[in-house]
Amino acid sequence: MKLFRKKGKPEALVFVDFEYMQISFMKRYGIHPPVQEWYKELCETYEIAELCVFADFSNPAMKYNLPELRKITNHIIETQNTASHHKKDFTDFFILDQIYQKALEKHRANTYILFTGDGHFGAVSRFLIEKCHKNVIIYGIEGNISSGLKSQVTDVIEFPTYENLKKFYYPVIAREMKKQAGGNQKNGAALNAAQIVRAVTAKQGICQSAVNEALTDMMSEGYVVYREQWVNSLKRVRVLTCDWDKMKADGLFVTQDD
């Protein structure tokens, strides 16, 4: 009798251009990359054989994320260029070298995952697919993935999804509420939802519908509430405010003292 064994998840090697990831998230969404959420999503589909993160961590913005990165991998590669003449795309060379090394070692993983949007990785993607018979999956940020790169890989996955995106806007909305609340206390105005949405979406590239829905979700989940308060000791008004303790307890990393 022939026995059939259920196949497990496909094994994958993962290479993260963290400079691309960090800069894209900050520019697009105003937050640091949610690396643990992305890693969790990755692990739902793949068995991760190795995950390597590359960046110039002498940069304070990159260095800030090291504690979170260390929760998902020990393979963190410093790409700082100490030469007197800075060479453009120095981090790319580190990533490409590591990818080619793994390919030449004939690693058993059939899937290579790259978190990048850089067109420089088109040639190595073709090499992996055509010469090594591997699958190449690109994870990237919406609107920031080279069209040339897209055309040369097995699949492209944009991260975050719309549903995740709304969650990632929570701390952005909270920070704006904190900022607006300080100013409104001085001029006696009450904080409202429309005011917050306008302020957040004024940032270039911010998705208005996602912010609007995110704020609605925050209200339904109890992170944002309306409370009555006195204004200039003359009248009581309903004011929008965050439940900072709840946000901190649920790991959203935004506190009233941030």
Same domain, residue pair 75 and 202: no
Q: What is the extent of the structural domain holding 244?
A: 163-249
Task: Tell whether 119 is covered by a domain.
Answer: yes
Same domain, yes or no, for 180 and 57? no
pLDDT above 90: residue 129: yes
Q: How far apart are CA 156 and CA 138, in angstroms?
A: 5
| 12-28 mean pLDDT | 93
Residue pair 97/114 in contact by the 8 Å Cβ criterion: no
**What's the rounded mean pLDDT across residues 139-151?**
93
Has residue 6 been placed in a domain? Answer: no
148 vs 250: which has the higher pLDDT: 148
1 falls within a domain: no
Provide the residue type at 50 as one letter: E
Give yes or no: residues 16 and 124 share one domain.
yes
**pLDDT tens across 80-104, in order?**
876 645 555 789 999 999 999 999 9
Selection from 149, 142, 87 nearest residue 121 by Cα: 149
- Position 209, amino acid: S
Q: Is the domain of 122 the same as that of 183?
A: no
Do the beta carbons of residue 171 and residue 253 sit within 8 Å? yes
CATH of the domain at 170: 1.10.10
Total domains present in the chain: 2
Residue 257 reports pLDDT greater than 60: no
pLDDT, residue 27, reads: 83
**Whether residues 174 and 212 fall in one domain:** yes
In a domain, 257, yes or no: no
pLDDT of 206 above 50: yes
- Give me the pLDDT at residue 18, please: 97
Side-chain half-sphere exposure of 198, counting CA atoms within 13 A: 6
Q: Which of 123, 141, 160 is the endpoint of a domain?
A: 160
pLDDT tens for residues 224-253? 888 776 666 666 777 788 888 888 888 765
pLDDT of 173: 87
Give the span between the Cα atoms of 189 and 28, in whole angstroms. Answer: 30
Asked if residue 19 belongs to a domain, the reply is yes
Give buried/exposed letters for 119-130 (b at 16+ CB in 10 A, else e).
ebbbebbeebbe
Same domain, yes or no, for 153 and 215? no
> Looking at the structure, do residues 156 and 183 belong to the same domain, yes or no?
no
**Residues near 105 by beta carbon (within 8 Å), at least 6 away in sequence:** none
227 and 144 assigned to the same domain: no
**Per-residue model confidence (pLDDT) at position 41:** 93
Within a domain: 195: yes
On the question of pLDDT at 180 being above 80, the answer is: no
| Domain final residue pick, 141, 160, 179 | 160
- CATH number of residue 45's parent domain: 3.40.50.1010
- Do 88 and 174 fall into the same domain? no
pLDDT > 70 fraction of the chain, expressed in percent and rounded: 84
Same-domain check for residues 52 and 90:
yes
Examine the domain organization and report whether 153 and 41 are in the same domain: yes
Kindly tell me if the per-residue pLDDT of 61 is higher than 50: yes
Amino acid at 134: K
First to last CA, the chain: 64
Asked whether residue 5 is domain-assigned, the answer is: no
Helix (H, G, I), strand (E, B) or coil at 154: coil
Domain boundary (110, 140, 160) is at 160
**pLDDT over 90 at 72, yes or no:** yes
Same domain, 55 and 179: no
Give pLDDT, residue 2: 43
How far is residue 156's CA from residue 122's CA, in Å, rounded to a whole number? 13
Q: Is residue 214 part of a domain?
A: yes
80: number of CA atoms within 13 Å, CB side? Answer: 8
Comparison of pLDDT for 60 and 4, the residue scoring more: 60
Ranking 49-63, 154-168, 212-226, 238-252 by mean pLDDT, the lowest is: 238-252
